[in-house]
């Protein structure tokens, strides 16, 4: 599972490798560069989710240097690592350079796994805020239903991705950049209940809409969806459902997430335009 990619710029090779190892434990990949020339080559050849630069690499506290590097970075946020305890003056100049160059984060050293995890969560939030549309991931093993759901969601204006099961969702998609997961519960593999629990544990910003039919006369849709609710699902959708009910379910969790006090949203207006009352 790859949650994102990071370009590390640090002339201290041992320190850069330690940071890379820490990123690996968070399931993020990294590419190491030890000087500005190496970093520039990587930026021209690859696209990264985050730039993580040490503030004491030669010349890196110069605003012009940062601006030159960022010119090749597209929309990746920039985080500067700085030792605020031993080099207080340099920490101050690094912060000033960060503001001048439009850097987004300053990460004081030494830092631990928790601080790095917070930075990565902030990085994902940075990218989500810059998305024009809300991003919905549809997890459904029925290809015909999946196609219909994706098509209707796109009509309303959502950015849409899909997976046939939870395993594909976790390995093929960065859930840090997903707003809503619309998932069938009774799907092959680990299934929607365990998958929902993992999503809510590892990506607490994601809203989950769980959809299911019953198993038999004794285990009805109500029972299955109650289990999904206990696993953390934010909204429940009994199968078979109409496209209107599906859209209202997705819009309801987005509305609750973004603006609980608002009664209507752009998505709701779009739904009303497609399905006249």
pLDDT of residue 271: 47
pLDDT digits (tens, 9 = 90+) for 221-264: 899 999 999 999 999 999 999 998 999 999 999 887 665 444 34
pLDDT of residue 110: 79
pLDDT of residue 87: 44
pLDDT of residue 62: 63
Predicted confidence band of residue 132 (pLDDT cuts 50, 70, 90): low
pLDDT of residue 142: 95
Region 155-177 average pLDDT: 91
Give percent above pLDDT 90 in the chain: 48
- Prediction pTM value: 0.60
Backbone angles phi, psi at 156, to 5 degrees: -75, -25
pLDDT of residue 131: 67
Least confident of 67-71, 192-196, 209-213: 67-71
pLDDT of residue 232: 96
Give the residue extent of every domain in the chain.
Answer: 5-129, 135-274
pLDDT of residue 88: 46
Q: Domain 5-129 has what CATH class?
A: alpha beta
pLDDT of residue 133: 74
Assigned fold of 135-274 = Rossmann fold (3.40.50)
Domains 5-129 and 135-274 share a fold: yes
pLDDT of residue 236: 95
């Amino acid at each position: 599972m790859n949650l994102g990619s990071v370009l590390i710029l640090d002339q201290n090779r041992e320190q850069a490798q330690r940071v890379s190892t820490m990123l690996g434990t968070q399931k993020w990949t990294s590419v190491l560069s030890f000087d500005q020339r190496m970093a520039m080559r990587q930026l021209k050849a690859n696209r990264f989710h985050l730039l993580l630069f040490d503030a004491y690499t030669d010349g890196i506290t110069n605003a012009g240097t940062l601006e030159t590097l960022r010119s090749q970075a597209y929309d990746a946020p920039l985080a500067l690592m700085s030792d605020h305890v031993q080099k207080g003056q340099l920490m101050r100049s690094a912060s000033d350079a960060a503001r001048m160059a439009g850097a987004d984060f300053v990460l004081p050293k030494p830092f631990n796994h928790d601080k790095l995890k917070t930075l990565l969560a902030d990085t994902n939030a940075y990218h989500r805020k810059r998305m024009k549309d809300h991003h919905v991931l549809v997890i459904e093993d029925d290809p015909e239903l999946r196609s219909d759901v994706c098509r209707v969601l796109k009509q309303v204006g959502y950015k849409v991705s899909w997976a046939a099961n939870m395993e594909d969702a976790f390995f093929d998609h960065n859930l840090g950049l997903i707003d809503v997961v619309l998932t069938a519960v009774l799907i092959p593999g680990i299934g929607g209940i365990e998958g929902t629990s993992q999503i809510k544990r590892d990506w607490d910003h994601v809203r989950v809409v769980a959809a299911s039919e019953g198993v038999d006369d004794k285990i009805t849709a109500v029972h299955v969806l109650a289990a999904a609710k206990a696993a953390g699902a934010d909204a429940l959708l009994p199968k078979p459902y109409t496209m209107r009910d599906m859209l209202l379910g997705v819009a309801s969790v987005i509305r609750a997430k973004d603006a609980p006090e608002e009664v209507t949203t752009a998505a709701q207006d779009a739904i009303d335009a497609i399905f006249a009352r």
